[in-house]
Amino acid sequence: MSSVTVIYRSPFETAICSSDAAINIDNPRYPPQIRGMPEDLEGVVATATRLSHVDGKAGRLTIAGYAVEDLAPYASFEEVAYLLLHGRLPEPAERVRFTQDLAGRRALSRLVLEVLHEAAATQARPIDALRMAAALLSLGREESAGDDAMTAIASFPTIVGAYWRALNGQEPVPVRSDLPHAAHYLHQVFGAEPSTERARALATYLNTVCDHGLNASTFAARVIVSTRSDVISAITGAVGALKGPLHGGAPGPALDMVFEIGTPERAESVIRAKLDRGERLMGFGHRIYRVRDPRADVLARAAERFYASGGDQRLYDLAQQVEATALRLLRERKPERRLETNVEFYTALLLHGLGFPSELFTPTFAVGRVLGWSAHCLEQLRDGRLIRPQSAYIGPTGLHYDRGPARPAV
Ligand SMILES: CC(C)(COP(=O)(O)OP(=O)(O)OC[C@H]1O[C@@H](n2cnc3c(N)ncnc32)[C@H](O)[C@@H]1OP(=O)(O)O)[C@@H](O)C(=O)NCCC(=O)NCCS
């Protein structure tokens, strides 16, 4: 069934959808437009954006005009941040000013550090600690969208680093303003200045995941800020949305599968057994991409370069063999459905190679994606209206509430 739904009229265009995913409400009491409604907003265009475009058929991701493969491996995180927040790449003097501004916002307040300390005492998951600390970033500051965005982007690496160290009984590392963003994050987590290769590999990762159309957490952020709430509230909500295993939580299990396989000869039998049991192979398939996720290519090349420069080459080779075997068996099992490698497979390999424990995979995703959330919030505040869809009521009607003899009306 096909339908056309107007979600809201943006300043740019009327946002419409044409979707085959229809809720199957066959009760004749429901009006026809509800019966044809797209399920879970699949295929619905709910806003217009200049920030990024996901072309699932061609396997292309465009970030503010640039193909992800042209931008992510070469630009600094600061350049990409400027691009998304200002709509164009910075001139050299603008880049210097922007870099200094961002670096000047890295330190955490005493209260945030105390909360992280308390959270560590309860062994809270790092992504939960990040959400708690994110909410506190507005304390003691005037609410201002641009400032809030910059502060959140600058603070996320410090929060994750400080929390991971607290969890491991270590003191936080004092912030440094002379390191680029990606290098500073590595310094915050591991307490040592990273090599150029490590910093480059992480910057490539952060750039690759910084924005991806109207994904669930970005949509959550836009909905929150569309009420004219503040950017910190929106970012806090977005962290909550990212935490779910259907969104930001897949790279850990993808890596577990590579470790479980262990040696190339076991790849075929282990993967066949998983598919026989009806399990899904983590790191493969995508809701929107029907071809290989372009981010997987960018990260595969980054991982290849990084592992060749002194990483565990055996693990990289094993992962490649696992990928090839998985793709072959998925084609064999599901010839009618193109299931290709997605971003999570090589995310796991790259972040593991950089020394990140799997508990920090999702928080590290947030360190990159907070840029997209922030840029979307600013865009929504500038151009958007209140996002307020409707629901189809499918509950009962006409029930009678028995007031009882002793309950007078109030
Ligand atoms: C990402 C994902 C949720 C997209 O799902 P989707 O587009 O809605 O795909 P569907 O759920 O419609 O699946 C279609 C068919 O392909 C199968 N399939 C999809 N992904 C699969 C995978 N990774 N491994 C094995 N089979 C898979 C499904 O079992 C289903 O088979 P069926 O028709 O016999 O029931 C799904 O591919 C998945 O679970 N992948 C693994 C988790 C992952 O890597 N997530 C990170 C995404 S970036």
Q: Domain coordinates of the chain in residue numbers?
A: 3-46, 68-249+376-383, 251-353
Please give the pLDDT value at position 36. 64
* Ligand 1 pocket at CB < 6 A: 250, 280-287, 334, 337, 339, 342-344
SS (H, E, C) 114-169: HHHHHHHHCCCCHHHHHHHHHHHHHCCCCCCHHHHHHHHHHHHHHHHHHHHHHHCC
Ligand 1 centre to CA of 222 (Å) is 27
Q: What residue's CA is closest to ligand 1, atom 34?
A: 334
Q: What is the pLDDT of residue 9?
A: 35
The pLDDT of residue 34 is 62
Q: C-alpha distances in angstroms, 405 versus 393, 398, 401, 409, 410?
A: 32, 21, 12, 11, 14
Q: Choose one of 54, 280, 323 to mutate for the ligand 1 pocket test, by most ligand atoms within 8 angstroms of C-beta.
A: 280
| Predicted local distance difference test score (pLDDT) of residue 408 | 67
Residue 310: left (phi > 0), alpha (psi -120 to 50), or beta? left
Q: Domain 68-249+376-383 adopts which CATH fold? A: Citrate Synthase; domain 1 (1.10.580)
List CB contacts of 385: < 8 A, sequence separation 6 or more: 8, 9, 10, 226
The confidence score (pLDDT) of residue 3 equals 37
Task: List 53's β-bridge partners, or say none.
Answer: 62
- The answer to whether domain 68-249+376-383 and domain 251-353 are alike in fold is no
Annotation says 344 is catalytic: yes
Residue 156 CB burial class (10 angstroms; 0-12, 13-18, ≥19):
buried
Residue ID of nearest Cα to ligand 1 atom 16: 337
HSE-up of 230 (CA within 13 Å, CB side)? 19
Ligand 1 atom 14 nearest Cα: 337
Question: Alpha-carbon distance 116 to 136, whole Å?
Answer: 11
Nearest to 372 by CA among 163, 231, 179: 231
Q: Which atom of ligand 1 is nearest to the CA of 293?
A: 48
Task: Give the pLDDT of residue 207.
Answer: 98
Report the CATH number of the 251-353 domain.
1.10.230.10
The pLDDT score that the predictor gives to residue 7 is 39
What pLDDT does residue 251 have? 73
- Side-chain half-sphere of 339: how many Cα atoms within 13 Å? 22
Encoding tokens for residue 278? 């009806």
3-class DSSP string for the chain: CCEEEEEEECCCCEEEEEECCECCCCCCCCCHHHHCCEHHHCCCCCCCCCCEEEECCCCEEEECCEEHHHHCCCCCHHHHHHHHHHCCCCCHHHHHHHHHHHHCCCCCCHHHHHHHHHHHHCCCCHHHHHHHHHHHHHCCCCCCHHHHHHHHHHHHHHHHHHHHHHHCCCCCCCCCCCCCHHHHHHHHHHCCCCCHHHHHHHHHHHHHHCCCCCCHHHHHHHHHHHCCCCHHHHHHHHHHHHHCCCCCCCHHHHHHHHHHHCCHHHHHHHHHHHHHCCCCCCCECCCCCCCCCHHHHHHHHHHHHHHHCCCCHHHHHHHHHHHHHHHHHHHHHCCCCCCCECHHHHHHHHHHHCCCCHHHHHHHHHHHHHHHHHHHHHHHHHHCCCCCCCCCCCCCCCCCCCCCCCCCCC
For residue range 216-241, what is the model confidence (pLDDT) as tens digits? 999 999 999 999 999 999 999 999 99
Q: Give yes or no for a contact between 127 and 116, defined as CB atoms under 8 angstroms apart.
A: no
Instruction: Kindly give the distance from the C-alpha atom of residue 347 to the centroid of ligand 1, in angstroms, as a whole number.
Output: 18
Task: Output the CA 288–ligand 1 centroid distance in Å.
Answer: 11
Instruction: For the chain, 410 residues long, give each residue's pLDDT as a single digit of tens.
Output: 333 333 333 333 333 333 344 444 555 555 655 666 677 788 889 999 999 999 999 999 999 999 999 999 999 999 999 999 999 999 999 999 999 999 999 999 999 999 999 999 999 999 999 999 999 999 988 999 999 999 999 999 999 999 999 999 999 999 999 999 999 999 999 999 999 999 999 999 999 999 999 999 999 999 999 999 999 999 999 999 999 888 887 678 889 999 999 999 999 999 999 999 999 998 899 888 988 899 999 999 999 999 998 888 999 999 999 999 999 999 999 999 889 999 989 999 999 999 999 999 999 999 999 999 999 999 999 999 999 998 888 899 999 998 888 766 66
The rounded distance, in Å, linking the Cα atoms of 386 and 226 is 5
